[in-house]
Structure 1
Amino acid sequence: MENNGEQIASMPAPRVAVVVFLLKDRSILLGRRRSSVGDATFALPGGNLEFGESFEECAAREVKEETGLDLGQNKIEYLTVTNNVFLDQPKKCHYVTIFMRVVLDPQDEQVVQNLEPEKCDGWDWFEWEKLPQPLFWPLEKMLKGGFDPFLR
């Protein structure tokens, strides 16, 4: 029987993800995941923090890579952080997730593209009061706790 230290050593190390609430009027941008973790759930754009990156740099890079949207001069704000351990997924993992926010000008005419179709079935804007189901577990947990990115 393994001792607790050996069990912990065999688990993957925690990683840092940066995800972005893109807000436009009263809508947020969500995509349906294609992943071993949270497959077929709706999630925010984002991804892994790279060595040396700031949270803001990671947010802008990931949004551009996944959606084609250029955040340009938009203010990228830190909102909160969550600690998410996924033990019930096919691929067990542990993510510290940094949530950022960008309020887009309603007149911004950039078109959202699905630039990583192997990771996402597509992006769409959803009214805050009419979010699709199922939501990715960390996002759902935050919303059930009363979190509202429009109020911060």
Structure 2
Amino acid sequence: MRPTTLCFPVRPDGKLLLGRKKRGFGVSKWNGFGGKIEAGENFLQCAVRELREETGLIAKEEDLELVGFLDFHFSASSELDHIGFVYFLRQWQGTVQETEEMEPQWFDPAALPYDEMWKGDRTWIPMLLKKEKVKGIITFAEDNENLQHLELYRIDNV
């Protein structure tokens, strides 16, 4: 089970920064920013590094707001299974830039491109946007696309 992070920058007007994956796992899907923890890193350090690598934005660990913990399972490809801490970020430095891996774009929360995102996102992301914290297990079907099982809980603390 790979440990990962997922970070969503949120502007004061409530718009969410998503990135369209340009290569690798999840190509063409809109998602938050993150990835696998590297040797010697903790979750916060990973989230800061991945955000910088994928958007050019510079974050401070103390500005990351822990909003969720998700356990992703892929029925046909267990090597893709991963756990992830989910963060919102409301303060950063720098300007959003497209990178080799991601094409970033700001979205109004009412107009997120759910049809071009991972299945399940349309359930747990709205919970986070309502200031709920979430913990859960998301299991994808044999096609690694559709949902086989979704188990989400609202929690007070992650």
Please name the residue that 1:33 is paired with.
Answer: 21
Note the C-alpha offset of 1:67: 0.7
Cα distance in 1 between the residues matched to 2:24 and 2:50: 19
Count of aligned pairs: 130
Larger Rg computed on CA atoms: 1
1:15 is matched by which residue type in structure 2? R
Q: Which runs of 4+ in 1 moved over 4 A?
A: none
Is the alpha carbon distance of 1:46 and 1:16 closer, same or farther for their aligned partners in structure 2, counting shifts above 3 Å? same
Percent sequence identity is 24
**Does the 8 Å CA contact 1:87/1:93 hold for their aligned counterparts?**
no
1:1-152 residue pairs with structure 2 within 5 A?
14-24=1-11, 25-72=13-60, 75-88=63-76, 93-104=80-91, 110-115=94-99, 117=100, 119-120=101-102, 122-132=103-113, 133-137=115-119, 139-143=121-125, 146-149=126-129, 151-152=131-132
Structure having the higher strand fraction is 2
**Does the 8 Å CA contact 2:67/2:128 hold for their aligned counterparts?**
no
1:20 is matched by which residue type in structure 2? C
TM-score when scaled to structure 2? Answer: 0.70
Greater RCO structure (CA 8 Å; 6+ sep) = 1
Note the C-alpha offset of 1:99: 0.4
**Does the 8 Å CA contact 2:4/2:43 hold for their aligned counterparts?**
no
1:71 is matched by which residue type in structure 2? A
Gaps of 5+ in 1: 1-13
**Deviation per CA, 1:68-95, whole angstroms, max 9, x where unpaired?**
1011476112111111112357x85101
TM-score when scaled to structure 1? Answer: 0.73
1:111 is matched by which residue type in structure 2? T
**Does the 8 Å CA contact 1:84/1:96 hold for their aligned counterparts?**
yes
